[in-house]
Amino acid sequence: MATEIKVPVLGESVTEGTIAEWLKQPGDAVAVDEPIASLETDKVAVDVPSPVAGVMSQHVVAVGDTVEVGAVIAIIEDGASAPAP
């Protein structure tokens, strides 16, 4: 099953952030609570953790894109395993 990764609440008056870096690429294995992306706002930089273990399926937005709180930024396939190298 696929899980949508959404922008978390970033602070009391912060409504959007910018994707600064993808820490996981499509096809990479992801553990629960492992950071998958870094977001920057005018006040703080925040890592976005994965709520599930699985494999990064796709990035929905690109580095440099501005995203609002609650927006879907990535999709992770729950419980999948990364392909062998």
Q: How far apart are CA 39 and CA 19, in angstroms?
A: 5
Determine the pLDDT at residue 16.
92
Determine the pLDDT at residue 21.
97
* Overall average pLDDT of the 55-73 stretch: 96
Claim: this prediction has a pTM higher than 0.75:
yes
Per the domain annotation, does 84 fall within a domain? no
Q: What is the pLDDT of residues 13-26, one digit of tens each?
A: 888 999 999 999 99
CB 77, CB 29: distance < 8 Å = no
CB 69, CB 10: distance < 8 Å = yes
C-alpha Rg value of the chain to the nearest Å: 13
CB 6, CB 46: distance < 8 Å = no
Determine the pLDDT at residue 53.
94
Q: How many domains does the chain have?
A: 1
Q: Provide the domain limits for residue 73.
A: 2-78
Per the domain annotation, does 83 fall within a domain? no
Q: How far apart are CA 54 and CA 41, in angstroms?
A: 28
